[in-house]
């Protein structure tokens, strides 16, 4: 049973460029979450999917951020016109509706540096 | 007021001692509670979950929940240097939304 995978693991980009990250959840997990984490802080919720439906999106998320999960399997998170404040670790987590309390398991994260 | 509050630490304990980590949460409607361990530069790893008032033990770890006081704690017995990490408290509410604290850094000294 493989865990959650994320690609790339590191991304360095220049301000104003677009970036896209991919997350592959644990195979039988139908819920998928994206979080952002900065140094010294806990993960901050960005958005989550149940199957292919995006059920909630943080009000803190600007319209430069978009996420998709087209077939209910892998998901992508795109950031358009990146800013230096977007530099952070982007974490993906997955869980199953069959888990009674929705335990989440995290991938290794994508560390984004915006120059 | 933050959804989940943790003392940032660092909490320093000698090897073999009991480490006690605490967390408070603001919403009485919170349904499930989790402890994650995060090593520097790595992603969070789930170590314990608790849903009912009282204690839950798993190996060297004991999670304690007091819903009346909106308080969750994690005890680590026989602390080892490998336990040195940041411990994140998380709560689930609104069915499927999670809120994380900022974490407590634990240092276990050999």
Chain A within 8 Å of B40 (Cβ-Cβ)?
no
How close B25 comes to chain A (CA, Å)?
14
Q: How many other CB atoms are there within 10 angstroms of residue B94's CB atom?
A: 12
Question: A104–B101: do the CB atoms touch at under 8 Å?
Answer: no
Q: How far is the C-alpha of B107 from the C-alpha of B93, rounded, in Å?
A: 30
Picking from B34, B43, B99, the nearest residue to A91 by CB comes out as: B43
Tell me the chain B residues in contact with residue A101 when contact means C-beta distances shorter than 8 Å: 31-32, 49, 51, 92
* Per-residue model confidence as pLDDT tens digits over A69-101: 998 899 999 999 999 999 999 999 999 888 777
Question: A42–B4: do the CB atoms touch at under 8 Å?
Answer: yes
Tell me the chain B residues in contact with residue A45 when contact means C-beta distances shorter than 8 Å: 97-99
How close B32 comes to chain A (CA, Å)?
6
* Per-residue model confidence as pLDDT tens digits over B24-72: 999 998 989 999 999 999 999 999 999 999 999 999 999 999 999 999 9
**Which residue in chain B is spatially nearest to A41 when comparing CA positions?**
B102
Picking from A44, A102, A107, the nearest residue to B32 by CB comes out as: A102
* Per-residue model confidence as pLDDT tens digits over B67-108: 999 999 999 999 999 999 999 999 998 767 899 999 999 999
């Amino acid at each position: 049973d493989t865990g959650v995978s994320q690609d790339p693991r590191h991304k360095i980009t220049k301000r104003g460029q677009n970036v896209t990250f991919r997350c592959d959840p644990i195979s039988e997990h139908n819920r998928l979450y994206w979080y952002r984490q900065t140094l010294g802080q806990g993960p901050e919720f960005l958005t989550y999917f149940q199957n292919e439906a995006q059920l909630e999106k943080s009000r803190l998320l600007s319209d430069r951020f978009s996420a998709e999960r087209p077939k209910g399997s892998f998901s992508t998170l795109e950031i358009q016109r990146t800013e230096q404040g977007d530099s952070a670790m982007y974490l993906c987590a997955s869980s199953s509706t069959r888990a009674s309390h929705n335990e989440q398991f995290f991938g290794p994260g994508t560390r984004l540096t915006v120059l | 007021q933050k959804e989940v509050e943790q003392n940032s630490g660092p909490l320093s304990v000698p090897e073999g001692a009991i480490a006690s980590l605490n967390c408070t949460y603001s919403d009485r409607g919170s349904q499930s509670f989790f402890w994650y361990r995060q090593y520097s530069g790595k992603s969070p790893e789930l170590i314990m979950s608790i849903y009912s008032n009282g204690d839950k033990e798993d190996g060297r770890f004991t999670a304690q929940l007091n819903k009346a006081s909106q308080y969750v704690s994690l005890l680590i017995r026989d602390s080892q240097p490998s336990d040195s990490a940041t411990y994140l408290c998380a709560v689930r509410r609104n069915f499927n939304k999670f809120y994380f604290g900022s974490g407590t850094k634990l240092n276990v000294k050999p």
